[in-house]
Chains A and B, each alone.
Chain A
């Protein structure tokens, strides 16, 4: 189970859980599972090569190789076509999809992503380790948004015949993702870098998920993305002294896109109640929640510099995001984790600690065989923590439209 989980952990990080530690983490734990891909980075301009602090010097080479964690998904498009074939599937709540389509056509953020000169100025001012961390943050977020773009775009294309409404929603969501990715990539250009997305498209390993897992994973990743972005935005609004880079000012409107994308997956799942209403669905729902929360926690606790750099306490930030995402997810998943139980956080903290030990072994001077042997007990400990967290008493949940709710439910 743990290896399955670790394999799942990575692709879910749609919103850059910055820090190449995802790759490192996963590779460290399960060497055989990792297909690390080299992302080609090219200097945006050949001109600015004067060293600007520690970050600037590296760009002189023109090409920088980086390991990026967010993976690209692909799915069974034929099954998708069947699931949303309006002739074959009478459960489709067409009014709900029509309403969503209108919401996406409205295009709230059509004119939102316009840059100004603050970006370049802020990038130039950023020096030392913080500069590196920001570059990493932009790279990972851009890759993640871009991976959403590719998947949604393909789904939009493939479903056009069988379900034009759902297909158009996918296309409009890919519009949003392209916009987000483009905006982040422009941010990278302020650091004299650019992600070569065309190369990425061809060179990345695609992770296959069956449609039902795409729904769970993408729903969670959109909703957790919303909560991460809005939390950062509201925190910085209250504490403007940490506003070190203007991109955060765009997060309030930006994350409303993420939230709407999540709503769409919610509607997709409601249209396929078999993914929501049996015991298997409950087990999968808990599994995906745990995967997503643990991934974020382990990644972020390895990259506290970023959060501290913008004035956040990493663990408090993560717990807040987890609790809120879980509350949101309880509106649709048939079961969620009891994340507000203090024992859940204690388990996460132990996992983070074990993870640090595993990483430390990777950085030691031992030969690979010795490293692997040394890791075994820690991996076993991590697996047992994961299992224990998975088996904690869950919370029954679900949409009031689907779940067998008490008819006495009071609103």
Chain B
């Protein structure tokens, strides 16, 4: 798990340290009397440190996902999968910011050429291993699964009303296996927002 820990942050910084410095300089340029020299270098230094610390973790992660190569497949060991789970209505229908976060993350991964390491799993089969969770869960349930435990921890802070657990699995198939379930959400009886609700089915691109 520790090798996954800072996957995305590290990759980010590796690729774009130089650009980030310029960007910061540009975005802060408009404070005429502020001495930028004070805080600007500090942020840049931070960025450089990160990249040094976590370069290896990125490599490890990329390798993990290119498992078509038999040699790499051999090297692949048990991996830890972290998940958050709650009822489908909460995850897919009520918490609209959740959708924004997932799309934001997909955008980021694309921009930085990173392999996606998170999925939504409807009625995951692995829940059978967690009776303590299933007895407190409304069904159908939906899980957010990722190899990045740090990110899942953050998502737990954001979503709050979800249960967090992790387990080890030999292959990606196991955490992503799902039981058939029908997802239908009733239209909210009062919708006061000055915009339409996100369209149902948005989650399909996050399914395995």
Contacts and interface: CB of A to CB of B under 8 A. Distances in A.
A197 B105 CA distance: 33
B171 interface: no
Contact of B87 (A107, A317, A411): A411
A299 interface: no
Chain A contact-residue range equals: 35 or more
A208 to B, nearest CB: 22
B178 interface: no
A266 B159 CA distance: 12
B154 A198 contact: no
Interface stretch (A57-65, A82-90, A98-106, A209-217): A98-106
Contact of A95 (B9, B85, B153, B158): B153
Interface stretch (A9-17, A174-182, A347-355, A357-365): A174-182
A194 B30 contact: yes
Chain B at the A interface: SS class: helix
A230 B136 contact: no
B50 A263 contact: no
Given A110-B20, A175-B24, A411 B136 contact: yes
Contacts of A199: 33
Contacts of B90: 411
A37 interface: no
Contacts of A331: 160-161
Best-buried of B8, B100, B195 by chain A (most CB within 10 Å): B195
B34 A411 contact: no
B43 interface: yes
Interface in A162-220: 168, 171-172, 174-175, 178-179, 181-183, 185-186, 189, 194, 196-199, 201-202
Interface in A214-261: 226, 230-231, 234-235, 237-238, 252-253, 256, 259
Interface string B84-119: 011100100000010011001101100100000000
Given A182-B31, A197-B31, A266-B157, A410 B136 contact: yes
Interface stretch (B11-19, B59-67, B70-78, B179-187): B11-19
Interface string B112-148: 0000000000000000000000001110000000000
Nearest to A103: B154
Contact of B33 (A100, A146, A197): A197
Contacts of A105: 6, 9, 12-13, 46, 50
Given A175-B43, A198-B33, A102 B150 contact: yes
B153 A197 contact: no
A278 interface: no
A316 B192 contact: yes
Interface string B174-208: 00000000000000000011111000000000000
Contacts, number: 160
Contact of A320 (B100, B151, B193): B193
B152 to A, nearest CB: 8
Contact of A201 (B8, B34, B86, B193): B34
A263 B137 contact: no
Contacts of A197: 30-34
B29 interface: yes
Best-buried of A103, A113, A179, A400 by chain B (most CB within 10 Å): A103
Chain A at the B interface: SS class: helix
A99 B33 contact: no
Contact of B192 (A168, A253, A323, A400): A323
A185 B104 CA distance: 25
B33 A201 contact: yes
A111 to B, nearest CB: 7
A96 interface: yes
B196 A102 contact: no
B134 to A, nearest CB: 10
B28 interface: yes
B170 interface: no
Contacts of A401: 160
A132 interface: no
A409 B136 contact: yes
B168 interface: no
Given A171-B42, A178-B28, A231-B193, A400 B160 contact: yes
B46 to A, nearest CB: 7
B160 A399 contact: yes
A345 to B, nearest CB: 11
B79 interface: no
B102 to A, nearest CB: 11
Contacts of A181: 30-31
Contact of B46 (A171, A312, A399): A171
Interface of B: 5-6, 8-9, 12-13, 16, 19-20, 23-24, 26-34, 39, 42-43, 46, 50, 85-87, 90, 97, 100-101, 104-105, 107-108, 111, 136-138, 150-151, 153-154, 157-158, 160-163, 192-196
9 contacts: A102-B8, A108-B105, A108-B108, A111-B19, A230-B97, A230-B100, A252-B100, A320-B192, A409-B136
Given A100-B157, A113-B23, 15 more contacts: A102-B154, A110-B19, A146-B31, A171-B39, A171-B43, A172-B43, A197-B34, A198-B34, A230-B97, A234-B194, A235-B194, A256-B101, A256-B104, A317-B194, A411-B163
Closest 3 A-B residue pairs measured CB to CB?
Answer: A198-B33, A234-B195, A99-B153
Interface of A: 95-96, 98-100, 102-103, 105-108, 110-111, 113, 146, 153, 168, 171-172, 174-175, 178-179, 181-183, 185-186, 189, 194, 196-199, 201-202, 226, 230-231, 234-235, 237-238, 252-253, 256, 259, 263, 266-267, 312-313, 316-317, 319-320, 323, 331-332, 399-401, 408-411
